[in-house]
Amino acid sequence: MFLSKLVGRTVKETPRDAELVSHRFLLRGGFVRQYASGVYGLLPLAQRSIAKIESICREEMNRIEGQEVKMPCLGTKELWDESGRYGAIGKDMFRLNDRNEKPMVLCMTHEEPVVFFARTELTSYRQLPAMMYQVQTKFRDEPRPRGGLIRLREFTMKDAYSFHASEEDLQNYYWRAHEAYMRFFKRTGCRNFVSVMSDNGMFGGKFSHEFMMLVPSGEDTLITCTNCDYKANQEIATSPFTTQSANAIAVAEVETPNIKTIADLAKFLKIDASTTCKAVMFQTREQELVVAFVRGDLDVVEQKLKGVLQKELFPAKDEVIAAAGAVAGSTGPLGLNLSKCLVVFDKTISAGSNFAVGANKAGYHLKNFNLERDLLSQLNDWQKQRIKMGDIAAARAGDPCPQCGHALQETRGIEIGNIFHLGTRYSHSMNCTYSDQAGVAQNHVMGCYGIGITRLLPAIIEESHDERGPILPITVAPFDVHICVLNKKEGTTEETALATYAALKKAGIEVLLDDRDEKPGSQFADADLVGIPLRIIFSPRNLNENKVEFKFRDNRTPAQMIPVNEVVDFVKKTVAAEYQRYALD
């Protein structure tokens, strides 16, 4: 490809709204262009890189007996009603009506369509296990698209779904898929990534793992142990914490004028924040208040809270708070109208004693609240059903590890893939069955496996770049070699460069040749922005000595001078060696 003919131009100016490094370089390098918030088009450079990522992904899915299918992006309301997710998913899902006013959706995931396939095609135990995968467009009406291709409203994913006759068979396949993911990410040049335990969220099921690129710009917080192999997304990370428990003291009301925060309360009462109890409020779609109580020095994890309640949550409105008898700034567990609210206590509250809590009375708090004595023992059976216990607190750096007790640490990451146990969540609700050996209908046991195809390119750039541009691994770079031709009108510079270009292409090497009349500094700056790993520089001065300059984009070694008659063989060997760096067989 000649650079003068390439659709997509480099841009010198840094876009004002591009916060992430990858976003800036993808725009400046001519990889992508933005149509609207969270909607981007891929120009040839990005499309070539994405195609390579897809190809590696297909190879790894085929290696674990995956069968590629293509499911529609457009789905019917009826199909999503079968699983119960049409009403359960909020504004994240795009909904529309066709010309006949039939409700439709743009699929954000494809559990429903793939179960449609399975119940018509996988009808006997003899066909199991089976895995179907696709590389397909997804739609999600993100409230806050960010980072260019990192968080989009229209994006490409590889999603796979496996079907099994037993939990044991799913477990075995789950870990095969996990290994395939590790292979895939290594082959695409990812270096600093980990697999962590995560939340199943809207997908259902019992367990899941996320694959995270560890970069400071990541939007997810990961909790890992400094001593053992414990790794988890903060949405599910846990800790035994260190909860003080003492003999119960009589509860007492105390006036606390103008006290609105935990820090102010602890200072006023001359106690540690860990002996206070904090209330965090949400509301359900049904306008019920949800009050989550956690130790005052900790934070509530909304995703954990959703898991306990199995409900979608929204910010609490003033009228909903007031109707439940809660008083903002002094919300406590005593005096709430349980017919108007659901209450969740974190395990730190049930394990501790003598907490300072809100009194549901402006300007007052209670000292020495004990959950069992002061609340649970006073409730009837119906009221107790309105109260839940669970792990809803956020683990932090320095907290003890739940596995070995050593200190936990925090790091940041970008999610680049995930795998989920689904069980019979969808096969049961959608009546998807197979006949077992006795001829009895059984629900398929399912697993789900996703990779963010378009997200992976910017994640790699976040990990691998310098101040001038991306440094792309050869396995995902749009071209293998970038040729710069300096002062091409002097002597035989252009002729020699074109001959080398043709020879390399004939050898199957992907080459981008800068054939423009640009100054050396401009050519080098553009080459840095494109990020191709290998570079050959033709100049009249070096050709006078019958040599060309070769360098790596990552500057791992000093530039080398290669004889012209050896350059093709040298580049072929170097390209082969680069690909071998990422080969796992």
Cβ proximity of 9 and 132 under 8 Å: no
Tokens linked to 448: 């789900």
Both 64 and 167 in one domain: the answer is: yes
* Residue 420: predicted pLDDT: 93
Both 515 and 443 in one domain: the answer is: no
C-alpha angle 390-202-216 in degrees, rounded to nearest 5:
80
What's at 100, amino acid-wise?
N
Both 181 and 310 in one domain: the answer is: no
How many independent structural domains does the chain possess? 3
Q: Residue 121 pLDDT > 60, yes or no?
A: yes
Question: Tens of pLDDT along 335-374?
Answer: 999 999 999 999 999 889 999 999 999 999 999 999 999 9
Residues 172 and 203: their CA atoms lie apart, in Å, by 20
Cβ proximity of 505 and 453 under 8 Å: no
Both 58 and 194 in one domain: the answer is: yes
**0.85 surpassed by pTM:** yes
516: CATH: 3.40.50.800
Both 434 and 325 in one domain: the answer is: no
User: Is 337 within a domain?
Assistant: yes
- What three-state secondary structure class fits 569? helix
Query: Which of the residue ranges 78-82, 204-208, 280-284, 499-503 would you say has the lowest mean pLDDT?
Result: 204-208
Both 420 and 511 in one domain: the answer is: no
Domain final position from 363, 390, 417 = 390
Counting residues of the chain whose pLDDT is more than 70, the rounded percentage is 99
- CA 151 from chain center: how many Å? 9
Both 219 and 324 in one domain: the answer is: no
Residues 271 and 352: their CA atoms lie apart, in Å, by 15
Residues 147 and 17: their CA atoms lie apart, in Å, by 9
- What three-state secondary structure class fits 443? strand
Question: Tens of pLDDT along 544-561?
Answer: 999 999 999 999 999 999
User: Is 176 within a domain?
Assistant: yes
Cβ proximity of 102 and 215 under 8 Å: no
Question: Tens of pLDDT along 419-450?
Answer: 999 999 999 999 999 999 999 999 999 999 99
Residues 501 and 480: their CA atoms lie apart, in Å, by 12
Both 384 and 417 in one domain: the answer is: no
Q: Residue 202 pLDDT > 60, yes or no?
A: no
From residue 389, alpha-carbon distances to 153, 286, 384, 386, 425 in Å are 36, 21, 11, 10, 24
Report, as an integer, the average pLDDT of 74-91.
Answer: 93
Instruction: Kindly tell me the sign of the dihedral angle through the C-alpha atoms of 336, 338, 344, 350.
Output: positive
Tokens linked to 132: 């179907």
Cβ proximity of 497 and 488 under 8 Å: yes
Cβ proximity of 354 and 246 under 8 Å: yes
User: Is 26 within a domain?
Assistant: no
Residues paired with residue 547 on neighbouring β-strands, in sequence order: 563
From residue 554, alpha-carbon distances to 193, 532, 559 in Å are 20, 10, 11
Residues 248 and 352: their CA atoms lie apart, in Å, by 10
> Do strands 74-76 and 66-68 pair parallel, antiparallel, or not at all (unpaired)?
unpaired
User: Is 120 within a domain?
Assistant: yes
User: Is 395 within a domain?
Assistant: no
Tokens linked to 111: 């559990």
Q: Residue 585 pLDDT > 80, yes or no?
A: no
Residues paired with residue 224 on neighbouring β-strands, in sequence order: 231, 409
Closest CA to 425 of 444, 401, 404: 444
User: Tokens 């001829």 label which residue?
Assistant: 439
User: Is 566 within a domain?
Assistant: yes
* Residue 204: predicted pLDDT: 52
Tokens linked to 446: 């399912």
Q: Residue 16 pLDDT > 90, yes or no?
A: no
Task: Determine the structural domain holding residue 485 and report its residue range.
Answer: 479-581
Angle, in degrees to the nearest 10, between helices 493-506 and 567-581: 50
Residues 241 and 352: their CA atoms lie apart, in Å, by 11
User: Is 403 within a domain?
Assistant: no
Both 173 and 272 in one domain: the answer is: no
Both 453 and 488 in one domain: the answer is: no
Both 173 and 145 in one domain: the answer is: yes
* Residue 13: predicted pLDDT: 87
- Where residue 387 falls among pLDDT bands split at 50, 70, 90? very high
